[in-house]
Structure 1
Amino acid sequence: MDGDPLQEVIKAVIKQYESHVMPKIGSFRKDNGRHEVSGVLDFSLLAIDYYVFEVAVTIAYMMLENPNPLDVGGAVLAGWESVTVLSDEEKDSLFLLVLGRLCQSLVYGRYNVIKYPDNDKYLLTTAKNGTRLLNKLWELGKKEVERKWFTDASTFSDK
């Protein structure tokens, strides 16, 4: 990432994650290993982890594939919260968790292209839309993006 302007955004996301999300992680609800399966999305990420991480990963990757990426968060939240409502701490961390996942995917993609250049098309899948999306979310900021997501989620919930 040396010299890439995106590096500064990634460093800022990491810094905010450390100061705003890490102190709250102890309050996040964790998967207890008991499940009622209603569908399977992706076994590659199957783990016992914090629920809000699953929401963030879903929003991040769904945004990458949507022509109107900001419209995704509210729909995902409404669906998630129709089963399990996020706590205030989880909601407050969601924006940075989504950005963190985009950062992680972009950095891993670039790193792995160095190791496996013949697989660059797949490894840079996130980069196709991810760089622009990460920059857009960062520029809009937490307050504006959350306003959109939570307003949209409440609209879906009222139906």
Structure 2
Amino acid sequence: MRIRFALAATVAAGTLAVVVSAPAQAAEYSSALKVKGVQYDAPGRDSNSCSTGNSKSEYVTIKNYSRTATVNLKGYVVKDTTTSNKFTFRADHYLGPGDYVKLRGGHGTDSDAKNVVYRQNCNFLWNNDKDTIYLYKPSGAHADTHAYTKSRDDRDGNGYITFHG
């Protein structure tokens, strides 16, 4: 993992000020898998009822940006800023080069053919105003991270934000 730090020093009126910038998000993590986008605000009125709710319409898309490697999602973790909202891929799910998977809320049958994995949980994972999406490798290393705010990042107001093309 490469992390770039910028160091700037300014001397003014006998005072030394040092400014250190934080590592850039996402671009600095070495991983073929990245968060392509997130439907953080499911269409309709939010309801996490398993029978009538819309949590299945909330999802995060994870894409394999490698041109040659197939990656097994088993052991990868997706979480938000709270420690209790997380999902670990427990079964083999292979993403070939350029392939993607939508990790959806709600209950359903995982399908490689339909590129979908369900969290088997009807609670919403992403906040509708702002949140941070973390993707971790099975080793615990960062694969990708993106913070979003509705007002800054969702220009058309449709509840979907794209991070990587």
TM-score (norm 1): 0.25
Looking at secondary structure, tell me which structure has more strand per residue: 2
Q: Radius of gyration: which is bigger?
A: 2
